[in-house]
Amino acid sequence: MKRLYIFFEILIFTLICAFIIIPPFFTPRITDISELFTWTFPWAQAGLFIFCIVLYFFTRKTFCRPKRFFYPSMLCLAILICTALIIKFISSRTGGTTALPSKSLLPQTALQGIFCFLTFLFGAVYEEIIYRYYFTDALKRLLSYTKLPDGRGTFFITEGLGLLVFAFAHLYMGPLSLINAALAHVVLRILYKKTGLIWNSVLIHFVFNIISLILL
C-alpha cells in the first residue's frame, strides 16, 4: 500500500512539473507588457485555480502545519513593494521591462474590472499553491523516500530549485522580472513557512498585484 501511495505521489509531482512548472520556461519573450493585461476572462488561470484548490485540499494534512496567523504579513508586503519600486527604478534607467502592471493598464469598464480582479485572484492562488506550498515541500518529501541524508544539503537543493523554477517562469518578461520574481519568491516562501498558512501568501500576493496596478 505504501509503495502504491509513493507511486501516485511521484506521478502527480511529475505531471505537475510537465504541465505546469516546465511550460513557462519556453514561453517566447514579450516586447510589450500590455499583452499580458487585456482583461478578458482568464480561462487558463481559472483552470489552474480549480486544479490547485483540489491539490491543496488533498495534500493539506501532509504539508500544512499552522504556526502563526498574520504575524509577518504586513512586513512581507512592505518588502515586496519596496523591491518592486527598486526594480521599476532600475527598469526606467536601463530600458528593461518588468512583470509589474502599471496605471496605464487599468481596466476601462466594470466588466474589465471584474476580469482584472479574477485574473489577479486566480493567479495569486495557483502561483502560491504550486510554487510556495507544493513544489519545494513535495520535492523534499520525495527525496525523503531515498537514501539521501535529510540535512542542510537537501534543504538548500530543494529551496534553491523552488526559487529557480519560479524565477525562470518569468524569464519571458525579461531579466529584471526574473530578479523581481526570485526576490518575491524568497519573501513569500518565508511568510508561508513562518505561519504555516499558504492563504497568508495568497492574500499578500493578491494585494501586492492590486497595489502595483493602481499605485506603482
- One-letter amino acid for residue 208 of the chain: F
Query: 73 to each of 63, 76, 139, 189, 215, how far by Cα in Å?
Result: 20, 5, 25, 11, 19
Residue with cell 530578479: 179
Cβ(80)–Cβ(187) under 8 Å?
yes
Q: Is 204 helix (H, G, I), strand (E, B) or coil?
A: helix
Selected residue with higher pLDDT from 98 and 7:
7
Q: Is the pLDDT of residue 38 over 90?
A: no
CA distance 102 to 131: 24
Q: What pLDDT, on a 0 to 100 scale, did the predictor assign at position 134?
A: 97
Cβ(198)–Cβ(192) under 8 Å?
yes
Q: pLDDT tens digit string along 161-201? A: 999 999 999 998 888 889 999 999 999 999 999 888 899 99
CB-side exposure of 161: number of CA atoms within 13 Å? 15
Q: Is the pLDDT of residue 14 over 90?
A: yes
| Global pTM value | 0.92
Q: pLDDT tens digit string along 117-174? A: 999 999 999 999 999 999 999 999 999 888 777 777 888 999 999 999 999 999 988 8
